[in-house]
Structure 1
Amino acid sequence: MKILLLADIHSNFPALSAVGRAFAPATFEAVLNCGDSLVYAPFYNETVEWLRDHHAISILGNTDRKVIKLLKGKDFKKPSNKEKRMMYLRAAEELNTKNTTWLLGLKKEKKLKISGREIALYHGSPDDPDEFLFNTTPDARFLQLAEKMRRKGISIVVTGHSHTPYVKKLGGVWFINPGSTGRMFDGDPRLSCAVLQLTGAEVRVTPHRLEYDVEAVVKRLQQEGYPPVYKDMYRLGRKLN
């Protein structure tokens, strides 16, 4: 039983296309996406259509929630930086009707049962969608979360938000972050994702870093008049603003 894990795509359709070429998502039992599907790379509709076409089970991330606020005629305080705000405004302006409906239908978390195992998707953590969990987060914090998850019968937790891939088993619970499929911050511009395999009682997680057409993102950013800092972010795999 194979499951494809994605997170923090950030409208990077060229990266998603590379995932599709590498893995043939239709052969997986499920495609799970832990949110922040939108904002930063300028492929808003293409990204959502890829997720819809591959029947990805998706949840909301913090960038997605802010786009929803704009779609509902509301505003947000942060980010206040004009270079960042324009990304949210463009996403809200450019999403077509079908993709807007898809976004509005997403929830902050999702629980599902696959191959007899209870799996939960969160953007940040089971406690807070904006909490950052890193590979360096103390084990004590993961053990706190594991205790809560065990009480709910959940044995596998998949998160995003920190753009940091890791696999941990603590307190009898697996914690998996596939890293950012569209916007890595560790100095390696390659996309990040993971494959979860469930075979009887065995759980196996294989992280992947894949090359994709970064220059296609840079070209689109330049064509649409985005600030130059963004092309450097994608080329360097760094958060620069």
Structure 2
Amino acid sequence: MKYALISDIHSNLPALEAVLQDIEGRGDVDHIYHLGDLVGYAPWPNEVVDLIRACRISGVAGNYDSTVATGYKHCGCKAESPRQEELSHLSYGWTREHVSPATRRFLGELPFRMDVRPAGGHRSNPQMILVHGTPTLNTLYWTGDRSDAFCVKMARAAGAREGDLIAFGHTHKPWSREVEGVRFVNTGSVGKPKDGDWRAGYVLVEAGEAFRSVEFVRVEYDLERAMEAIRESGLPDEFADQLAAGGTAVPVE
């Protein structure tokens, strides 16, 4: 079985379309799953959700999805400066104002976690555990510099055992490593990468009796279309600049 894992689309329809076209063109992907944060920061929240639904892509709730659905006071996003915090509130307010009732309902129905067993439910392993942030919270950032001890703690919280794989997003930076026989995979971001590479990112996982390979994929998309739409939408222009810089553009204080 081969799985495509996509995360953190953040309303970037051109990026999602390019990724789905790339996956379809491979011809050997059996299932696609999303790891949340379908909306926020770009002007196509309803269109992204409509496409996810039309393609029957199952997945989990990101922090942006669950907060928009419940009308929470903020998006649960991490801010590293006063301007970043201001931008996060502007994006969240715009998104809540523009999502349709159908989109809000769909976001609210997303589960916190999904478990996939490639070898069938009659066997305990291997298990692929899908969450957005961590197995405990979808707002907690699981960065690549987290310690092995933190990874083991999260594996235990998830009930993962040797041979299992835990996949997540939220940080928008892809990474993978194995600790005590459990594979940990951050899929990066389709619609808002933060690793300095503007291209949309996703992951391919090949599995059978065990998880055999993890491949990180980058896909070019119509960046100009996305940037122009952001600037015409009333969202802050900085979101367009951040897309072009792969998340490394520093907001003006």
**TM-score (normalised: structure 2):** 0.84
User: Which residue is equivalent to 1:163?
Assistant: 172
Q: Deviations over 1:22-55 (max 9, x none)?
A: 1118863321111111100111111111211222
**What is the distance in 1 between the residues matched to 2:158 and 2:68?**
30
Q: CA deviation at 1:178?
A: 0.9
Task: Choose 133-142 or 6-15, whichever is displaced more.
Answer: 133-142
User: Which residue is equivalent to 2:118?
Assistant: 114
**What is the distance in 1 between the residues matched to 2:150 and 2:177?**
12
RMSD: 2.4
**What is the distance in 1 between the residues matched to 2:141 and 2:193?**
15
**What is the distance in 2 between the residues matched to 1:75 and 1:184?**
25
Secondary structure in 1 aligned to 2:169? coil
Change (3 A) 1:202 1:68: closer
**What is the distance in 2 between the residues matched to 1:123 and 1:135?**
15
Q: CA deviation at 1:113?
A: 2.4
Query: Contact conserved, 2:74 with 2:89, CA < 8 A, in 1?
Result: no
**What is the distance in 2 between the residues matched to 1:145 and 1:184?**
24
Q: Any residues of structure 2 matched to 1:1-241 within 5 Å, and which?
A: 1-24=1-24, 28-70=29-71, 75-76=73-74, 81-116=85-120, 117-150=126-159, 155-238=164-247, 240-241=250-251
Q: Residue 94 of structure 1 aligns to which amino acid in structure 2?
A: H
Q: Residue 4 of structure 1 aligns to which amino acid in structure 2?
A: A
Secondary structure in 2 aligned to 1:167? strand
Secondary structure in 1 aligned to 2:218? strand
**What is the distance in 2 between the residues matched to 1:179 and 1:193?**
6
Q: Deviations over 1:107-153 (max 9, x none)?
A: 22222323333221111112332222222222222123334445678
Q: Deviations over 1:143-194 (max 9, x none)?
A: 2333444567881111111112112221121111110111111221111101
**Aligned-residue identity in percent:** 27
Secondary structure in 2 aligned to 1:83? helix
Q: CA deviation at 1:77?
A: 8.7
**What is the distance in 1 between the residues matched to 2:183 and 2:243?**
30
**What is the distance in 1 between the residues matched to 2:41 and 2:170?**
14
Count of aligned pairs between the two proteins: 238
Change (3 A) 1:19 1:98: same
Task: Choose 152-161 or 129-138, whichever is displaced more.
Answer: 152-161
Q: Which runs of no fewer than 5 residues in structure 2 stay unpaired?
A: 121-125
Q: CA deviation at 1:89?
A: 2.4
Task: Choose 228-237 or 139-148, whichever is displaced more.
Answer: 139-148
**What is the distance in 1 between the residues matched to 2:227 and 2:86?**
19
Q: Residue 7 of structure 1 aligns to which amino acid in structure 2?
A: S
**What is the distance in 1 between the residues matched to 2:185 and 2:145?**
13
Query: Contact conserved, 2:203 with 2:217, CA < 8 A, in 1?
Result: yes
Change (3 A) 1:138 1:153: closer
**What is the distance in 1 between the residues matched to 2:131 and 2:109?**
16
Query: Contact conserved, 1:31 with 1:54, CA < 8 A, in 2?
Result: no
Secondary structure in 1 aligned to 2:137? coil
Q: CA deviation at 1:199?
A: 3.2
